[in-house]
Amino acid sequence: NQKNRTAVITGSTSGIGLGVAEALAADGCNIVLNSFSDTPEDHAAARKLAAKHGVEAVYVSADMSKPEACRALVKRAVERFGRIDVLVNNAGIQHVAPVEDFPIEKWNAILAINLSSSFHTIAAATPHMKAAGKGRIVNIASAHGLRASPFKSAYVAAKHGVVGLTKTVALELAETGITCNAICPGYVLTPLVEAQIPDQMKVHGMDRDTVVREVMLAKQPTREFVTVEELGAFVVFLASDNASQMTGSALPMDGGWTAQ
């Protein structure tokens, strides 16, 4: 039934992940919050979410750059709640640099966290979803899963990879009652985007306001940021029964970016 669903959201202590967790909790899902840290605040955030929405919520520390940790996160969720209904692969990092200077360790970390983690969590979750005859996988890709921008070689490569993984998994699972989709947001004002502003200012030699309007939102025709609430509502829809025939899609929510 719709009531006792369990949702696992990777990288959900801030930004889009936390917004998606809030929206799924408001929709009645029990929640597994995740990041790589393990602080009292992390566990308090889960208790706060549970109390606010009248659901159960736990925080599970797992570093999404590590294959075993990705798989262990899903295992812990199933041990705790007995099921996994919704898997949202959201954890992601960014680094901006010209390709010839791009640090190798940043390339490796971005590919591991932004792409490979989804492979590992999906591999761990699908046996449980297959046994239940139902499941929802939502990968938070990006407009950069469909379009490129300079100085973001690792991020654009990883996000295009997420779109490819999404399509493949959707086809493999097409007759199982499990759907797999990617959401491709344009710019959302989260800590990840805040952190890019100084780098972009340096690369382009612009002040903050100019870089936001002329560089970051230049490709977003509405010139407005997407909000985490809007993305949360989108994930709630994809997790619902009405979205049963949506699978293998890369779905933009990008203020018109990919219309160009």
Question: Which positions are annotated as active-site residues?
Answer: 155
By the rule CB under 6 A, 161 interacts with ligand NAD: no
Q: Tell me whether residue 105 or residue 241 sits nearer to ligand NAD (CB atom).
A: 105
Backbone angles phi, psi at 64, to 5 degrees: -70, 0
By the rule CB under 6 A, 90 interacts with ligand NAD: yes
Shortest reach from residue 159's CB to ligand NAD, in Å: 7
Q: Tell me whether residue 92 or residue 232 sits nearer to ligand NAD (CB atom).
A: 92
Q: Tell me whether residue 63 or residue 85 sits nearer to ligand NAD (CB atom).
A: 63
DSSP conformation letters of the chain: --TT-EEEESS-SSHHHHHHHHHHHHTT-EEEEEES---HHHHHHHHHHHHHHTS-EEEEE--TTSHHHHHHHHHHHHHHHS---EEEE---------GGG--HHHHHHHHIIIIIHHHHHHHHHHHHHHHHT-EEEEEE--GGGTS--TT-HHHHHHHHHHHHHHHHHHHHTTTTTEEEEEEEE--B-SHHHHHHHHHHHHHHT--HHHIIIIIITTT-TT-S-B-HHHHHHHHHHHTSGGGTT--S-EEEESTTGGG-
Among 55, 57, 91, 239, binds ligand NAD (CB under 6 A): 91
Among 23, 29, 173, 188, binds ligand NAD (CB under 6 A): 188
- Chain position carrying tokens 């709640």: 81
**x/- string (CB under 6 A) for ligand NAD, residues 70-89?**
--------------------
Q: Could you say which residues in the range 204-243 bind ligand NAD, by CB under 6 A?
A: none
Contacts of 106 (CB under 8 A, 6+ apart): 95, 97, 154
Q: Could you say which residues in the range 35-64 bind ligand NAD, by CB under 6 A?
A: 35-36, 63-64
- Chain position carrying tokens 């929405």: 53
Using the contact rule CB under 6 A, the part of the chain among 100-108, 182-190, 198-206, 236-244 near ligand NAD is 182-190
Among 8, 29, 46, 113, binds ligand NAD (CB under 6 A): 113
By the rule CB under 6 A, 169 interacts with ligand NAD: no
Q: Tell me whether residue 38 or residue 244 sits nearer to ligand NAD (CB atom).
A: 38
By the rule CB under 6 A, 190 interacts with ligand NAD: yes
Q: Could you say which residues in the range 121-160 bind ligand NAD, by CB under 6 A?
A: 140, 142
Q: Tell me whether residue 4 or residue 200 sits nearer to ligand NAD (CB atom).
A: 200
Among 111, 123, 192, 201, binds ligand NAD (CB under 6 A): 192
Residue 168, both tokens: 């493949």
For ligand NAD, the binding residues (CB under 6 A) are 11-17, 34-36, 63-65, 90-93, 113-114, 140, 142, 185, 187-188, 190-193
